[in-house]
Structure formats: structure tokens, C-alpha cells
Amino acid sequence: MDVISNCVCVNKKDAKKVLDILKNGNALRSGLKPKRIEDKIAFAVSQVELTRGLLEKSGVTFEICKDSFEKYKYSFKRLSEVIPGISSYLIIGDIAIINYKKDMGLLKKAARQIMEMNPRIKAVYAKTATLGEFRIPELILLEGEDKRLTIHKENGLRFYIDLAKAYFNPRLAGEHMRIADLIDDGDSVLDMFTGIGGFSINIAKKRKANILGVDINPYAIYLAERNYHINKKILKGDVTFMRADSSRLDKIIANKFNKIIMNNPTMSINYLSSACNLLEKGKSTIFLYVLESKNSNILNKIRGSIKCPYSFEVGKPRKVIEYSPSMSIYEIDIVMWVTISP
Ligand SMILES: C[S@@+](CC[C@H](N)C(=O)[O-])C[C@H]1O[C@@H](n2cnc3c(N)ncnc32)[C@H](O)[C@@H]1O
């Protein structure tokens, strides 16, 4: 039986490029076959706004649509059709992760199903929590071998990931690319919570920018360095990684930046003062990520947290990732005009 789905329709010549963008940005709806409509191809997508955002940046001509799609054969079925109650899971390299549910029997059944559906998956874990300052996932092995080190492909880049020692979220792929598009050649960029280097290395692939990636977790910095080296041949920008506490960064380095990425959504707001002291003279932008409930007044909270003596404008919050039924991660652009040398 066919399935009605939101979709995106593109010229045949752009189909391969669009498929890569949708896959890397986690916007492709799995289990449904692309469809030919006259001289165009339609892909079923999971989120219309995410798709629009990804494709607007790519320069490809596209149309958002709604149509019926044929399902792939059994091995590509959506998990929810096989195991009711478990709808989605993340794939990081050759590891799959399901969000924890109390029913261990259900999780184990889902894990077996995932391995059957994706022969390249070597381990399936349930994630129970994200812990501590380093934001490390707490995982229970459900099926396969206990391996947490893997290589993950994102936006044409390769990343060493170690789920036991450093944070990584494949759902940020589209956001890494979106921010990279907002950086210009020659920019001085600070990636204040770089983790394994996702934003920094995506930016360096697109732009001749000078980028500093900072993280408090030494092992994340070790992986970020390795990730820089395995991708070096295709990078245009210059990246340096540094282990440091970003709350003290303004006391440690003399560098100034015109773009600052603050992607530590549970804590970012507390680091705004340090970020202010690291801005170049002139116009600068801070990309701030916050975890908030749907009804909270994010703008008031942010405006109240900015203590720098510069004029600033806070943009509209943009939802990046749904975290739970009531909480989401939002990105807010803060544009600052630095009039005095900090
Ligand atoms: C959400 S993760 C960052 C993800 C990363 N930006 C990416 O795109 O993959 C938050 C990171 O902040 C780091 N962190 C936490 N407190 C910090 C601090 N005071 N200074 C620098 N990094 C910190 C954690 O180690 C973690 O890697």
C-alpha cells in the first residue's frame, strides 16, 4: 500500500545532489521510494521546514509537495511499522541508538530488527541520559558488539566518534551546514563548545575562514584534531583546536572574533559575558543555542543575560531539534555592534 508523505520535487539533473543533502541533513523520510513525475524526481521528506532550509542554501530549484509513495520492500520498512512504540533511532557510523523506554523486551526486539534492517550496523544501544559537563551519553548495549568508537560521514566529511568519551549528535548535520553557509571567507570564527569539531570542520570545508574550536573535554579535542587531519585535503579554512574552559577564554587568549558559535544548549546563556569580551570591533554575530520549553519567553531571558555595553539585536528563535514533547533546542542570532575595543 502506498503512503502519503510531504515531499520535495527537483529536476532530474539535481536529484543526486539533493538526495545527498537530504540524507546528510536527516531530512529524508526513510522507507519510501523516490518517485518520477514527468522529468522531475520527488523525494519523501520527514520535515518540510528542515528540507526548505537545507535546499534554499544549495541553490537548487525545488518545490515542496505532498504525494503518495511506494514503500521499499520489507528490509527498509520504518521501525514503527514493525515494532509499535519505537518510531525512530539514530545511526552514528555503524552504531544505532534508540531513546530509552522502560520496556527492555521491546527495546531488545527493536534492536534485533534494526540489525536485520541495516546489515552494516554492528551495535545497537539504548540511551538513558546525557551526563555531566562533557555531555556523554549513558548507553545500555541491546544487541551486537560493545563498540563505541566509529567513523561517521556527514556532509562529505568523515568524523571519528567515541560515544564513551565525547558528545556527538548526527541530527546537527543540517545545522553544521547551515551555519557554515552563514560564514564568509576571511571571518574569524570561535566555536566555543566544539565537541569533536562538527561546526569548525564543516565551516573550514566551505570557507577560507580562521576558526578556533574550544572544548573543556580533552578527549573531544583529541578527536577534533584527528577529524581535522583526516579531512584536511578538502578543507579551505584554517582550524585550531584548544582545550580550555570557555568561561575563562577571554582571560586566556588575545584573539578576537566576528562570529561566535555557542552550542552548549543547557548552559550557553551563562557564557555570554565571556563571549562579549571576545568580539572584534564592528559588527559581529553570536549563534546561540538554548534548550527551552515551548512556552518560555526565550527572548526576554536572553536579553536579560546580555551584560555587554554594546548595542545588540536578538533575532527570532529558530527551532533546531525537538528534544522532548515539551522541550526543544532553539538557535538565536545575536547581532552586536562593538564600538569600543574590548
Ligand atoms: C552540545 S556539545 C557540543 C556539540 C558540538 N558543538 C557539535 O556540533 O557536535 C557541548 C560541548 O560543550 C563542552 N563544554 C561543556 N562545558 C564547557 C566549558 N566550560 N568550556 C568549553 N567547553 C565546554 C562539552 O564537553 C561538550 O563537548
Burial of 91 (0-12, 13-18, 19+ CB in 10 A): middle
**pLDDT tens digits for 219-257?**
999 999 999 999 999 999 999 999 999 999 999 999 999
258 and 291 assigned to the same domain: yes
104 and 20 assigned to the same domain: no
Q: Which of 319, 161, 170 is nearest to 227 (CA)?
A: 161
254 and 107 assigned to the same domain: no
Burial 289-315 (b: 16+ CB within 10 A, else e): bbbbeeeeebeeebeeebebeeebebe
Domain final position from 13, 47, 69:
69
C-alpha 89/C-alpha 240 separation (Å) is 33
* Closest C-alpha residue for ligand 1 atom 1: 264
Residue 294 maps to a domain: yes
pTM of the complete model:
0.80
121 and 189 assigned to the same domain: no
- Amino acid 77: pLDDT: 47
Query: What CATH number is associated with residue 33?
Result: 3.30.70.120
Grid look-up 527551532 returns 319
Ligand 1 lining (C-beta closer than 6 Å): 133-135, 167-168, 172, 193-195, 198-199, 214-217, 220, 245-247, 263-264
Q: In the numeric block, which cell numbers belong to residue 264?
A: 552548549
**pLDDT tens digits for 34-90?**
998 888 999 999 889 899 999 998 889 999 999 999 876 543 346 666 666 666 789
Among left, alpha and beta (phi > 0; psi -120 to 50; other), residue 219 is alpha
In the chain, how many domains are there? Answer: 3
Residue 84's domain comprises 78-147
* Closest C-alpha residue for ligand 1 atom 6: 194
Å from CA of 195 to ligand 1 middle = 5
* Closest C-alpha residue for ligand 1 atom 16: 133
**pLDDT tens digits for 298-332?**
999 999 999 888 999 999 999 999 888 889 999 99
Residue 153 maps to a domain: no
